[in-house]
Amino acid sequence: MGKRLLWSLVLSSVLSASWAQAAEKTAIQVMHQGDPGFVAAYGKVAERFEAANPDVDIQFIYAPHDAYNEKFSAAVMAKQLPDVMELDAPFLANYVWSGYLQPIKPLIDKDLLDDMTESNIAQGTYPIDKDLYAIGLTDSSVVLYGNKKYLEAIGARIPKSVDDAWTREEFEGYLEKLSKLDGVKWPIDTFRGYGIKTEWITYAYGPILQSAGCDLIDREAWKSEGTLDSDACVDALAMMQKWVKNGWVVPQSAGTNQFFAEGNPAALALGGHWVYAEAVATMKDNIVVLPLPKFGAKGASPNGTWIWAITKTSKHPDIAAKFISFLLKDKEYRAYVASQSGYPGLKSFAAESPLYANGGPMAIAFEQASKTAVSRPPHPAYPTITSAFMQAVDEAFNGGDPKEALTSAAKKIDEDIEDNDGYPPFGDGQ
């Protein structure tokens, strides 16, 4: 009897001790997106972090990619902001302007800050105060993938660097030739299968406009009318519309894998760096990676990806930053990202990624970052800018008038800016 009493005493004291320990833990909430592979990878990093910091409990909040901003808005309204949040770089200005994020330079490990590539610094920097608000292991780019067999069949010139990228005439000529080639169902896949309401549109097609000599918005006056509806933009959108009309582009309903699908129905692919990992599995060395064509005087390529920030409401910014630093340095996580053809945003990670090293298959993509990358407009009106542009592209791709589509997009953007009194201090220094 006495023994049993003793045991139960011991047991309850052990239990209460462990309870107490659980209660002492600091909870850090991390909001993120990502496909199942990445979600699993984050989970494992958190386990390792908790093992190293037993007093911290990492809690993940998953938000699906396509509705991420909506979910984040809900969190803002419910006053339940996470400590750490992943965000898509072009939306950074909106978040900082709205007052959700805090500068992270003093919090993140210094060696990581020194390790950042220029375009990584650019994607995490708010243009008004030039302060760093977010950091990522990766950046991103879009390149032109080619099916070697088909390109050789039409005798296409294979550029060796960004500087000798195809011109508009070459590119359109090749599309025409490819359209007549046996085995090619569609000359190019521009990944319309991602949908008509996805950031992909602005991310991948925006640079075509920029290369043609225009932009989504004037980046000094922060006014869209006169820029997005300018002749250069209309001409660029009309050019894309022509590709679609001619049946050169994989239609949206055909899915997103026509470049590396069985039989290779698409000869070229205007695709993100992540496509390489998917394509190489089936196409082996039949892929060539080409720089994005020059549609005007200069080349342009996109950058920016999902990066990590700390919210202003976080009660433990130091621990949140510790987790971000831990994540970006985690060896196994880096190995996983590298296996997904992750685009280096840290110099040390670039060194670990032979894919992007000089002579590597994706070297051209990395070269674009320093030579042609143009960020999406870092302006708080970005949610409207991108939504309006998506709408215009959908109009044009389905036969609408490009001039009308872009004019109404430009109007919509300017109205939003006007509604918010110009998003001060933006536009003050014009």
Cross-strand bridge partners of residue 306? 88
Among 190, 252, 264, 368, binds other proteins (CB under 8 A): 252
Tokens of residue 405, six digits: 């589509």
Identify which of residues 282 and 408 has a Cβ nearer to other proteins in the complex.
408
Q: Does 73 bind other proteins (CB under 8 A)?
A: yes
- Closest contact distance (angstroms) between CB of 426 and other proteins is 11
Residues 303 and 373: beta-carbon distance below 8 Å: yes
**What's the maximum distance between 2 C-alpha atoms anywhere in the chain?**
94
Q: For residue 373, what is the DSSP state? A: B
- Site mask for other proteins (CB under 8 A), range 254-293, x = bound: x---------------------------------------
Identify which of residues 259 and 356 has a Cβ nearer to other proteins in the complex.
259
Query: Three-state SS for 86?
Result: strand
Residues 6+ apart with CB under 8 A from 221: 427, 430
Amino acid present at 13: S
Residues 210 and 202: beta-carbon distance below 8 Å: no
Residues 409 and 374: beta-carbon distance below 8 Å: no
Q: Does 76 bind other proteins (CB under 8 A)?
A: yes
- Closest contact distance (angstroms) between CB of 192 and other proteins is 9
Among 173, 195, 360, 361, binds other proteins (CB under 8 A): 195
Residues 263 and 174: beta-carbon distance below 8 Å: no
Among 340, 383, 403, 427, binds other proteins (CB under 8 A): 383
Identify which of residues 286 and 408 has a Cβ nearer to other proteins in the complex.
408
Residues 206 and 213: beta-carbon distance below 8 Å: no
- Which one of 95-103, 107-115, 285-293, 301-309 is the stretch in contact with other proteins (CB under 8 A)? 95-103
Q: Does 99 bind other proteins (CB under 8 A)?
A: yes
- Closest contact distance (angstroms) between CB of 415 and other proteins is 7
Among 103, 395, 406, 410, binds other proteins (CB under 8 A): 395
Amino acid present at 128: I
Q: How far apart are the first and last CA of the chain?
A: 86
Identify which of residues 157 and 197 has a Cβ nearer to other proteins in the complex.
197
Q: Does 127 bind other proteins (CB under 8 A)?
A: no
Among 219, 387, 403, 427, binds other proteins (CB under 8 A): 387
- The Cα 424–Cα 97 span in angstroms is 9
The size of the interface with other proteins (CB under 8 A), counted in residues, is: 35
User: In 84-217, which ranges are continuous DSSP H helix?
Assistant: 92-98, 110-115, 118-123, 148-153, 168-179, 199-200, 206-211
Q: Which residues bind other proteins (CB under 8 A)?
A: 69-70, 73, 76-77, 97-99, 195-197, 251-254, 383-384, 387-388, 391, 394-395, 397-400, 408, 412, 415-416, 419-421, 423-424
